[in-house]
Structure formats: structure tokens, C-alpha cells
Structure 1
Amino acid sequence: MYTVAAFYRFFALSDPQALRDELHQTFVNTDLRGTTLLAPEGINGTMAGSQESIDRFLTLLDERCGLERSEVKFSTTETPPFRRLKFKRKREIITFRAENPVDPTRPGTYVDPADWNALAADPNVLLLDTRNTYETEIGTFAGAVTPPLNTFSDFATWVTEHLEPTQTPKVAMFCTGGIRCEKASAYMLQLGFPEVYHLRGGILRYLQETQPSESRWNGDCYIFDERVAVNHDDLRLEEQTED
């Protein structure tokens, strides 16, 4: 059984290359697989391996980056979801080509999965999916607006062309694990949108913590490994297996 850990954290990382080299040297000869991106704005990755390797990896990230276990999304799988181990130095941990720089450390308001349904059902809220079209086509929340995005970088252009801050007072955003909607929420606040919310832990945490009978999610959730997509049953089964 492989443990899968999906995570990100926006923070000022002073020397991404040094941390990248430390991670590579520490884990290159272990069973850890997956990709972790490192940039001046923080870290972002999904890693898989034995429980021992994942624990060791996350302990190091907690020490170096302040990444708390409560912010990591866990799942399990019987087949290896990744074939190689990659630690990459990047300009951004999530590419977002806005006209002006975005400060991701000043995002919108987090909404826990337990409170998401009430916010999403509010008729005065614009429920906005920040994922790509190939992801939204296989699943999204009931009532969500799904912009035709080929890449996340298209989001900034779509917002400026289709939305006005004075006409859209409340926006609730979501994505797979939380990183895209968090950065997008910071961008929309910088544009002057007065109330911007985003789903803490993304769709993955919502599916894991929400009973299917109470869910507003329709379809499957695309993920970026060899499992391709997951749903309520997959994640809740994995949670039970871990127990």
C-alpha cells in the first residue's frame, strides 16, 4: 500500500535551490516518488511512498517550510501513482501570468469543507471553478461557473474580460487541492473584488470529509497521477483503509 501526500504552502522561500538539493540528497535512494516544486513563493507537490518515507519527508518540510500535517491531503493506493522522483526549482509553484505580480500570501477567506455547502448555496455568491476545462468536464460542484480555461494562466484574462468587482460582490472559488484557487483569490482581491472565499484543502478534502448524501459535488475529480480521477467512494475508502 502506498501513501500519497498532496501539499502546498505559500511562503517566502529564501533559497529554493538549497532546499531542492537537500531534498534530493536525502530521498534519492528511498522509495519516495512524485514531484515537488520549489520557488521563491513556496512549495507545491504530490509524493507517494511507504508510510515511513512520507513521514520522514513531511517532517523535514515541517522543519524547513512550516508545512503542518493538517494542511496535507492524504490518500492511499495499491499501485504506484508515480514512476520517478523529481525536485524542481521553478519561478512559481503555480504558474499565473497576470499583468501585475500577485502576492499569494494575501489570499481570500478560507472556507472549511463543513461550511462549504451553505456558502455554495447562497444565491448571491458566484461559485467559480478555477480548473482547466478537461478537469471540469468530468466533475464540478452543482451551480458552478466553469470558465473555458486551457491552462490556469488563462484565468486572469477571463476574469478581467467577464467580471466586474462592483457587480460581483461575493465570489467562492475552488480547485483540486486548494493551490490554484488560493492564488486566484489573492489576484481577485487585488483587482478590488470585495469578498473572495476559497475552499480549504480543495475538492479532495471536501470529498474526503463530506458524506455523499450531503454532497454538492457531481461526477469525478481529475487528479494528476496514474489514478486519473477519484470520487467520494475512493477517498472515503482510502481513509477507512488508513484507519
Structure 2
Amino acid sequence: MAVLHNRVSNEELKQRMLAETEPRTTLSFYQYFPIPDPQAFRDEWYQQLTALKVFGRVYVAHEGVNAQVSVPQSRFDALREFLHGHPALAGLRLNVAVDDDGKSFWVLRIKVREKIVADGIDDPAFDMSNRGRYVSAEEFNRLTEDPDTIVVDMRNHYEYEVGHFEKAIEVPSDAFRDQLPMAAEMLDDAKEKKIIMYCTGGIRCEKASAYMLHRGFQEVYHLEGGIIHYANQVREQGLPNKFHGKNFVFDSRLGERITDEIIAKCHQCGEPADTHVNCVNESCHLLFIQCDACKTKYEHCCSRECQDFIHLPIEVQKEKRKGVEKGRNVFSKGRHSLRPRLGDLDPTL
């Protein structure tokens, strides 16, 4: 009988990955296309990707597939051939990571979901096929030179905080389903202007562009392949780079350096910093930005309270954690807002 789920502990799998000698390539891809039987599709992919030693996170839904994975370099071509062999995925763009150590994932998880992007849209008239026009890095740069063009960042606050495009508008929410109506309302008086939307790899801004057209906006574009593809195009074509800082990514790296600029600040002391970490207190796991000095001072914790907690006897810590929801916390605009911790980060929430 085919094995369709992982049966080894996360810790053992992580150690196996770290012991690997062959380099891995981290990449992401997505495609909106109809999948009549997502569960059968998921099971077939689990077997095929396991055989290729692919690690990562893949979501399958009736509306398509969304994946962030790593693959041994010797099997990259085989993975591409497998993907391109599907009629709906022929020529699929693979976004190869910009700043990659190959240690992004250590287990393969493929999940069936209602949607590959949780958008909150329940309007039956919404048509995903009527979406904005792709723009390349070169076109993006040219369009943004027009002072009347509006650039919209469709990522969460903690992503925007460490890196974003010049003149980009932040939609102040940490849930994509809330950002869609918020973006439309924020730009309600600009329906006849050029709107360019972007995100990490393209999946969110593609749906956002369709939503904006649905809401009556006239000229909507979205950056093909998101920040990742843009950064690769800029480097390969020698184009001016309009992105500043770090691109937050949803794997164990938590970021890829696009430029040397540090535009964010340590959440504890306010000094320049853009390294996201999780509080080591098992009862907290807050995702926040911490500089090296504060990492030492607070022993990898987000606060004195958490620092005191980790020095309690292990049995006392366990007792105090009973019945306490670890939360889905991230430091956001001076408050703790509900978002995933490192192990469950998801760009499509």
C-alpha cells in the first residue's frame, strides 16, 4: 500500500536534512486551474514528490496548487519535468530562491484546502480568470516612474516592515482576506489610475488584481512572480533595483537579502535590525525582530517575563503551559496580533 503521509518525527527529519551532503534548491510555484478531485491529486503528488526527495509545503484546492519546496539539485530537472508534464502546468514558472542555503524545509506536507489563497470572497460573480496584466521587472520599473501609478503591497505588516518597493502603499492588516476589501476602500477614489500590486511570489497579488477589477478598478497590473522573480530578473538583466531591504519568506530562513539596506528596527531596543526570530519560550513563540545585542541580553526571548520563564525548572514550565494556547503571535505595530508562529507560517492566510 502506498505511503501517503510522513511517519517520522520532525526532529529526526530535521537532523536528516542537516546531515545531507548534496545541496538543495529552494523554489516556489503556484497555478490557478481547476482540480476536480483535490484529494486524488494530493495523493498522487505526495508519492511523486516523495520519490524526488522534495521537502516543503504544498496546498491543493479546487482552484489550483500553491507550493514552497526544496529539492536536491540533482533532481531539480526531474521535478521540473514532472510539473511541466501536467497539461495545466506546462511552462509553469518556478521561482528559485534569491538567497538560499537549501535548509528551508525538512519534511514534505501536502494538504487539501478549500482555497490555495484564503481570500474571504463569497461573491459568486467574482471571476478569477479576469485578472490584472502581468508586468515584468523592466515593465514594473517603467510604470512606477509615472507619478500617477499606485504601487500596492499585498503582504502582511511584518513582511512589509523588513523590505518593500519604493513608494509602495502598505495595506495595514495581517490577513489577506481582510486586505482585499481594505485595499479597495483605500483606493476607492483612484479607480481610473494605474494600480500595480505585488507580493512575495505572485499568488496573492494575482488574486488581488482580479478582486480589484471585480470592484471596478480600470487598469490593474500585478508583478509577475512577485519579489522573488523580480530580484532574479534585476540581477540577470542588470536592471535598477527598486526593492529595498529583505524579502520575508515563509520557511525556516525567514528572509532573503535583496539589498544590504536594513530598513527595520529591533523591536526591543530600536536599533537597525531585520532578522526575524521566534521567542524561545515555548509558551510564547512570538515572531519578532531582534538584533544580536538583544539576542544576547534577553537570551533569545522577546521580554524579561519570557526570559525569567525559561529559567524555571522544566517541570514547572510544563505545568504553567498546561491549558495555555501557545498562540499565533507576531509583533505587529507595537502589539501582538494573531498570526502563525514559525512552524506554521503561511503566506496565504
Pairwise TM-score range, normalised by the shorter structure? 0.7 to 0.9
TM score, norm. by length of structure 1: 0.88
Q: Deviations over 1:135-181 (max 9, x none)?
A: 00001011110111111111123134322266552211100001100
Name the structure 1 match of 2:55.
Answer: 33
Q: Deviations over 1:19-38 (max 9, x none)?
A: 10111122335521001111
**Alignment check: 8 A CA contact 1:32 1:54 kept:** no
Q: Deviations over 1:100-125 (max 9, x none)?
A: 25432221011011211111121111
Alignment partners' CA distance in 2, 1:135 and 1:8: 20
Task: Say which of 108, 116, 126 aligns to 1:85.
Answer: 108
Q: How far has the Cα of 1:71 moved from its partner? A: 1.1
Matched, 1:215 2:213: no
Is the radius of gyration larger for structure 1 or structure 2? 2
Q: How far has the Cα of 1:87 moved from its partner? A: 1.0
Matched, 1:150 2:174: yes
Matched, 1:138 2:162: yes
Name the structure 1 match of 2:321.
Answer: none
Q: Report the CA distance shift for 1:124/1:77 in structure 2 as closer, same or farther (over 3 A).
A: closer
Name the structure 2 match of 1:16.
Answer: 38
Alignment partners' CA distance in 1, 2:76 and 2:128: 26
Q: How far has the Cα of 1:68 moved from its partner? A: 4.0
Name the structure 2 match of 1:193.
Answer: 217
Amino acid at match of 2:243: W
Q: Deviations over 1:39-90 (max 9, x none)?
A: 1111110111213433333322222353245611113734421021011111
**Alignment check: 8 A CA contact 1:171 1:196 kept:** yes
Task: Report the RMSD for the aligned CA atoms in angstroms.
Answer: 2.1
Name the structure 2 match of 1:110.
Answer: 134
Alignment partners' CA distance in 1, 2:250 and 2:83: 21
* Alignment map for 1:65-80 (pairs within 5 Å): 66-69=88-91, 71-75=93-97, 77-80=100-103
* Alignment map for 1:50-61 (pairs within 5 Å): 50-61=72-83
Identity over aligned pairs, percent: 35
Alignment partners' CA distance in 1, 2:82 and 2:109: 16
Amino acid at match of 2:119: F
Show structure 2 runs of 5+ residues with no match: 1-22, 261-349
Alignment partners' CA distance in 2, 1:64 and 1:35: 19
Q: Report the CA distance shift for 1:232/1:163 in structure 2 as closer, same or farther (over 3 A).
A: closer
Greater Cα shift, 61-70 or 2-11:
61-70
Amino acid at match of 2:61: A
User: How many correspondences in the alignment?
Assistant: 234
Q: Secondary structure at the match of 2:146?
A: coil
Alignment partners' CA distance in 1, 2:92 and 2:191: 36
Q: Report the CA distance shift for 1:213/1:69 in structure 2 as closer, same or farther (over 3 A).
A: closer
Task: Say which of 18, 24, 48 aligns to 2:70.
Answer: 48
Q: Report the CA distance shift for 1:103/1:53 in structure 2 as closer, same or farther (over 3 A).
A: farther
Name the structure 2 match of 1:121.
Answer: 145
Greater Cα shift, 43-52 or 178-187:
43-52
**Alignment check: 8 A CA contact 2:121 2:177 kept:** yes
**Alignment check: 8 A CA contact 1:33 1:83 kept:** yes
